[in-house]
Amino acid sequence: MPADQILTIFGASGDLTERKLIPALYALKQRGLLPENFAVLGTGRTKMTDEEFRKKIESKGEEYDNDFLAMLHYMPLDPLDPENYYKLREKLRKLDHNMRVKGNYIFYLATPPLLYETVAEGLAAAGLNHNEAEGGFKKLVIEKPFGYSLETAKKLNQVLQLYFDESQLYRIDHYLGKETAQNILVFRFANGIFEPLWNRNYIDHIQITSAESIGVENRGGYYDTAGALRDMVQNHLLELVALAAMEPPAGFDADSIRNETVKVFQSIKPLSSNDIKNNVIRGQYIASKIKGEEIAAYRSEKGVDPASRTETFVALKFFIDNWRWGGIPFFIRTGKRLPTRVTEIVVRFKNTPHRLFRSIFDDESGPNQLIIRIQPDEGILLRFALKEPGAGYTVKNASLNFHYSSLGEQRLPEAYERLIYDCMMGDSTLYTRGDALEACWKFIDPILNAWKDDPTVKMFGYPAGTWGPEEADGLMNSNGQHWRYPCKNLTDDDNFCEL
Ligand code: BG6
């Protein structure tokens, strides 16, 4: 059980608090995982009383019990006013006095990133940054984006580390909180049969797809300044690469695992300007019709510049320069308004050295694939070739298919549930460390710069509901490499995309 503590949320009147944080805390309470003495102190510019805050949270439709609602408190606070941090300290002291949480405080920044540095500074000025202050631990949780470039990420790290020790910083990447992402480590390192094959000798390539069928919804303003590379690749997808590619850690603890993660990022071969032209494909969705319904182009979305050159799709090929992976390509693909929502890692094993059945079985995509499905229908699928029953020899592909749901009725916890709980427990394994963050940016930065500075790097349009620009297929044109398409383009007639 976590120690007694208070969780202060900056930006508590915002979307993230209502949609993710409060439901995750409630789920923890129902599973009996909240400390005995626990309070949430919401803060924000909106003026509200505790009661009004509780009503607002309740109005979101979920049913919360009274015990839980009684844990929620609110304090109006303008994060730009330094005085307010002293008031916050007083408020925390009062709550602490009643509840005896012994100075254990988490500060969760659910604010726009522009405020991160100000809040960290304000907390420090009020002495709320030191573990020793008020006697208990102090932790700072921040949400992405962690900077917009290598330079800004470094600066953010510097400022945060000026006021807080790295061990107090919890940078959330909600992909690491997904049950199936965590399972990659168990799958790889608790089984003896996969790891001997998990290298350049037996693996042809690894591809990671994270597709979304939704567009930018009501986040056009943010998304137009970010784009798919910053929004998904720099963080979520590179974290998945690390889980798939890392060496076995020395132990199952935060430092050992994060040491291996950072080594993967540091080993990614930097892309040259030619690589960026040839091995990175960016796209933007254009208007289309899906089953009779008109789908608007990205440039017509609310909050998006009508002449925007922000990518809503990106596919890239890169290499990890180390002994395990030398020469083996990794492919990443992500986008909005693709035919379906799916995130999966495909490990494509090499073909047999001699293709005995070539005349009767010519599966170019390679029969042996291991597919780790992160979402939806979480599971693992292993494909292999088999003889079809009957006279003669006909060879076909078959699969061993494991669905998480078959493990029982237990629901898979939401990523935020797991991550908030870990933070309360002081376990930062599933949080991004500062050095890892900078290593990721180091890889991403040259791509962003080339896109910004070089008008000859193309932006391809793709109709909403398709798998992105056809040029992305060109990344995989050798040795029978293909993207795995879990379903077809939605713009094709009668194509229902079900997974
Ligand atoms: C967020 C991105 O980090 O991840 C969103 O900002 C994206 O643009 C989301 O939609 C995807 O998360 P999930 O859990 O739905 O795959």
Residue 405's closest CA among 369, 383, 371, 376?
376
- Pairing of the two strands 5-10 and 169-172: unpaired
Q: Is 239 in the pocket of ligand 1 (CB under 6 A)?
A: no
In the CATH scheme, what is the code of domain 176-415+431-480?
A: 3.30.360.10
Q: Where in the chain is the domain with CATH 3.30.360.10?
A: 176-415+431-480
Cα(77)–Cα(84) distance, integer angstroms: 6
**H-state helical runs in 312-467:** 415-425, 434-453
pLDDT bucket at 128, cuts 50 / 70 / 90? very high
* CA distance between the termini of the chain: 38
pLDDT, tens digit (0-9, with 9 covering 90-100), for 401-426: 998 888 877 778 889 999 999 999 99
Secondary structure class of 118 (helix, strand, coil)? helix
Cα(176)–Cα(173) distance, integer angstroms: 6
Cα(98) to centroid(ligand 1), Å: 39
Q: Is 212 in the pocket of ligand 1 (CB under 6 A)?
A: yes
pTM (two decimals): 0.94
Beta-strand runs (E) in 68-222: 72-76, 105-109, 138-142, 169-172, 203-211
Domain range 5-143, its CATH number among 3.40.50.720, 2.40.10.220, 3.30.300.30, 3.40.1190.20: 3.40.50.720
Q: Which residue, by CA, sits nearest to atom 9 of ligand 1?
A: 232
pLDDT, tens digit (0-9, with 9 covering 90-100), for 37-70: 999 999 999 999 999 999 999 887 778 999 999 9
What would the two tokens of residue 464 be?
């909403």
CB count within 10 Å of CB 217 equals: 10
Residue 306 has pLDDT above 80, yes or no: yes
CB count within 10 Å of CB 29 equals: 16
**H-state helical runs in 59-105:** 66-70, 83-99
Cα(210) to centroid(ligand 1), Å: 9
Q: Where in the chain is the domain with CATH 3.40.50.720?
A: 5-143
pLDDT, tens digit (0-9, with 9 covering 90-100), for 81-123: 999 999 999 999 999 999 888 999 999 999 999 999 999 999 9
φ and ψ at residue 348, rounded to 5 degrees: -100, 115
The mean pLDDT value for 454-468 works out to 92
